[in-house]
Amino acid sequence: MMRALVTGGCGFIGSALVRHLVRDWHAQVVNLDALTYAATLGSVQSVADEANYRFEQGDVCDRALLKRIFADHRPTCVFHLAAESHVDRSIEDPLLFVRTNVLGTATLLEAALDYYRSLKDKADRAAFRLVHVSTDEVFGSLGEGGAFNEETPYDPSSPYSASKAGADHLARAWHRTFGLPVIVTNCSNNYGPFQFPEKLIPLMILRARQGETLPVYGAGENVRDWLYLEEHARARALIAEAGQPGETYCISGQAERRNIEVVHAICDLLDRQLGSLAGKSRRSLIRFVADRPGHDLRYAIDASHLGRQLRWKPQVAFDEGLRQTVAWYLENRAWWLPLTEGREALRRAGLKMASSASHG
């Protein structure tokens, strides 16, 4: 039976992985999360009482805490998802991203290496894996054609993507230098239920629901490759079970869309489900605002290596995934309302920096 340590397991992607491992894999799961602003226990409430689930609150930069967790729970697999992940916020507070994403990763790698070296049983050592979760943003921006793959050189544009690139390099170095069985994954943009309302899709859903303006960067021409959250969790578990240490796997939803197309689709879904606003489509709420600094034009991922080696491919089409996502936010006000009341969650972070750059 898999014994999994998931860092950042109360965040958007981490909570989906926790739910998947507990319910579908019947793994013993330990969820380590600092419960910062974008994490909530509500995202794992459905599995909180399961006998094969444990929660540990703490900071991934806390070496002593990590040592104790490894000793107490003796994981066979570590999924490292604890990270600051919002590009806009990285523009406003880059050093926070360096601390969590770079220092936090190095601290976890050291703790994992100590634990790995302590394993006396050859079978335990052979089975152990550390899956380091990264992003397509480390590769920079694509032109109109082509796609990122496992061989694409790194060219990060934002403090967020630079911090994730640094973490990726550290993970690979701990494998090559110390023999820690690390696997690195790079995924495209995730969407689905339980996403904190600062990201594009939930932000647009909730603002459009309330009849508020919908701020879209530039002309909305930036292209992203969208991956449904549950698909990502399924791929991640498969990689931990059957992937090879030292390998990199790119995960894609194979669903490229311009940002403006995504916002239009959200408006249309809400108009159909809630009715129009005073006889007008919610598309009328769209306002184009100054682009953020370092905003990459296009991301796309070629996931054929993952498909060939592990026979994985996405199963949820974007239109269906988006429909399910919009319906979830409409039906789960109790989850997102406490995250938005009295806070700035429904604003677009980075707008002040974008404005300054546009006038600089």
* 289 in any annotated domain: no
Mean pLDDT in residue range 118-132:
96
Cβ neighbours of residue 260 closer than 8 Å, sequence gap 6 or more: 216, 219, 220, 221, 286
Mean pLDDT in residue range 63-68:
98
pLDDT at 352 over 70: no
- 188 neighbors 226 (Cβ within 8 angstroms): yes
Q: How many CB atoms lie within 10 A of CB 151?
A: 9
**CA-CA distance, 251 to 312, in Å (whole number)?**
9
**CA-CA distance, 128 to 112, in Å (whole number)?**
10
- 137 neighbors 158 (Cβ within 8 angstroms): yes
Length in residues, the chain: 360
Q: Which domain holds residue 36?
A: 3-192+226-255+295-317
pLDDT digits (tens, 9 = 90+) for 218-231: 999 999 999 999 99
Q: Which among 160, 191, 228, 299 is annotated as catalytic?
A: 160
Tell me whether strands 286-289 and 77-80 are parallel, antiparallel or unpaired.
Answer: unpaired
**CATH code: domain of residue 108:** 3.40.50.720
Q: Which among 33, 84, 88, 137 is annotated as catalytic?
A: 137
> Which residues on adjacent β-strands are paired with residue 183?
131
pLDDT digits (tens, 9 = 90+) for 322-351: 999 999 999 999 999 998 876 555 665 554
Q: What's the confidence (pLDDT) of residue 342?
A: 63
Hey, what are 42's tokens? Answer: 């509500």
Mean pLDDT in residue range 193-217:
96
**CA-CA distance, 267 to 259, in Å (whole number)?**
13
Q: What's the confidence (pLDDT) of residue 343?
A: 55
> Which residues on adjacent β-strands are paired with residue 217?
289
Is 136 an annotated catalytic residue? Answer: yes
**CA-CA distance, 26 to 237, in Å (whole number)?**
12
Q: What's the confidence (pLDDT) of residue 356?
A: 39
* 151 in any annotated domain: yes
Is 137 an annotated catalytic residue? Answer: yes
Q: Which among 136, 168, 256, 302 is annotated as catalytic?
A: 136
Tell me whether strands 286-289 and 214-217 are parallel, antiparallel or unpaired.
Answer: parallel
Amino acid letter for position 269: L
* 218 in any annotated domain: no
Hey, what are 242's tokens? Answer: 């059957």
The per-residue pLDDT of the chain, averaged, comes to 94
Is 92 an annotated catalytic residue? Answer: no
pLDDT at 187 over 90: yes
* 50 in any annotated domain: yes
How many structural domains is the chain composed of? 1
Q: What's the confidence (pLDDT) of residue 86?
A: 87
Hey, what are 154's tokens? Answer: 């790194």
* 76 in any annotated domain: yes
pLDDT digits (tens, 9 = 90+) for 69-122: 999 999 999 999 999 988 989 999 999 999 999 999 999 999 999 999 999 999
Amino acid letter for position 36: T
pLDDT digits (tens, 9 = 90+) for 143-180: 989 999 999 999 999 999 999 999 999 999 999 999 99
Q: Is residue 308 left, alpha or beta, with left meaning phi > 0 and alpha meaning psi from -120 to 50?
A: alpha
Q: Which helix (H) or strand (E) holds 135?
A: strand 129-135
* 307 in any annotated domain: yes
Q: What is the pTM of this model?
A: 0.93
- 165 versus 359: which is more confidently predicted? 165
Q: What's the confidence (pLDDT) of residue 249?
A: 98
Amino acid letter for position 30: V
Q: What's the confidence (pLDDT) of residue 341?
A: 79
pLDDT digits (tens, 9 = 90+) for 286-321: 999 999 888 999 999 999 999 999 999 999 999 999
Cβ neighbours of residue 360 closer than 8 Å, sequence gap 6 or more: none
* 267 in any annotated domain: no
* 234 in any annotated domain: yes
Give the 3-state DSSP-derived string for 41-59, with helices as H, strands as E and coil as C: HHHHHHHCCCCCEEEEECC
